[in-house]
């Protein structure tokens, strides 16, 4: 086997159980939502043990979707009764990235949007830009209309507290298309900005275009996260997802 405090406007995340239609409305409005207890403790332990076998001590890798266990996890997430409300029917997993933040592997991330997607081959199209190679996979920045369809599910294998460098997001910014650096900084300063702490086994579900940042970890814990991106089967613009995509 492969494996906080919120403003009053979004305090419904703390309600148990979360009503599906309310969660969907929050996700649509803010561009992110926390879903607790997606995986149980034994599942988190099994996944963590498997990852430690080949990624221990590494700050991360983008190539996990090629592993059978990761693909099995994707199927579990798609069948989850709450996540299935947020992941559009028919979407496929196109990337699985592992992050590990700790005092030994520590970094901060300035406010930004996730603008690059993995693809199978380079395509000559005027709407495509920012081509790059990361760990042997080709990435490109497509137009906002494709990025707006993506959903990322961040599965937390450890508790992520204020001291663990959790994500901070600016609600509603996923609807603004591409945002330049100056405007991103202004929106962060204007706020509100929400710090998303997540318990072990919980998920932060987000639109990649939602502005987000994170600080360095200041505690002694590990913050291990699987970041799985779902997108439409056909991305358009002549592009194809990598061959490792989840069917």
The pLDDT of residue 245 is 60
Residues 188-237: tens digit of each pLDDT? 999 999 999 999 999 999 999 999 999 888 877 788 899 999 999 999 99
- List, for the chain, all residue ranges whose pLDDT scores fall below the cut of 70: 1-19, 54-60, 244-247
The pLDDT of residue 184 is 97
Q: In this structure, are residues 64 and 53 in contact, taking their beta carbons and an 8 Å threshold?
A: no
DSSP line for 58-86: -SEESBGGGSHHHHHHHHHHHH-TTHHHH
pTM of the model: 0.88
Enter the DSSP assignment of 236: B
The pLDDT of residue 66 is 83
The pLDDT of residue 5 is 29
The pLDDT of residue 7 is 34
Q: Name beta bridge partners: 140.
A: 117
Token representation of residue 7: 């403003």
Residues 66-84: tens digit of each pLDDT? 888 888 999 999 999 999 9
d(CA 90, CA 72): 16
Ramachandran assignment for 148, one of left (phi > 0), alpha (psi -120 to 50 degrees), beta (any other): alpha
209 Cβ contact partners less than 8 Å away, ≥ 6 residues apart:
31, 113, 114, 144, 147, 148, 150, 173, 174, 175, 176, 177, 178
Catalogue all structural domains in the chain, each as residue range(s) with its CATH number. Answer: 15-231 (2.60.120.620)
The pLDDT of residue 164 is 84
The pLDDT of residue 53 is 73
Torsion of CA 132, 30, 74, 19, to 10 degrees: 180
């Amino acid at each position: 086997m492969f494996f906080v405090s919120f403003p009053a406007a979004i305090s419904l995340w703390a309600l148990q159980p979360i009503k599906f239609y309310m969660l969907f409305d929050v996700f649509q409005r803010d561009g992110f939502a926390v879903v607790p207890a997606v995986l149980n403790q034994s599942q988190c332990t099994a996944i963590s043990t498997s990852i430690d076998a080949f990624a221990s001590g590494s700050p991360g890798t983008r190539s996990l979707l090629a592993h059978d266990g990761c693909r099995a996890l994707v199927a579990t997430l798609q069948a989850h009764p709450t996540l299935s409300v947020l992941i559009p029917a028919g979407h496929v997993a196109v990337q699985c990235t592992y992050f590990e933040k700790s005092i030994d592997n520590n970094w901060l991330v300035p406010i930004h949007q996730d603008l690059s997607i993995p693809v199978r081959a380079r395509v000559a199209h005027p709407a495509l830009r920012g081509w790059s190679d990361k760990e042997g996979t080709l990435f490109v920045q497509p137009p906002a209309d494709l990025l707006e369809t993506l959903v990322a599910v961040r599965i937390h294998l450890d508790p992520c507290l204020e001291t663990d460098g959790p994500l901070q997001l600016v609600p509603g910014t996923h609807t603004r298309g591409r945002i330049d650096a100056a405007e991103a900084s202004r929106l962060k300063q204007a706020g509100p900005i929400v710090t998303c702490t997540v318990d072990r086994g919980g998920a932060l579900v987000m639109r990649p275009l939602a502005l987000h940042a994170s600080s360095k970890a200041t505690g002694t814990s590990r913050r291990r996260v699987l970041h799985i991106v779902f997108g439409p089967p056909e991305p358009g613009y002549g592009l194809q997802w990598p061959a490792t995509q989840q069917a």
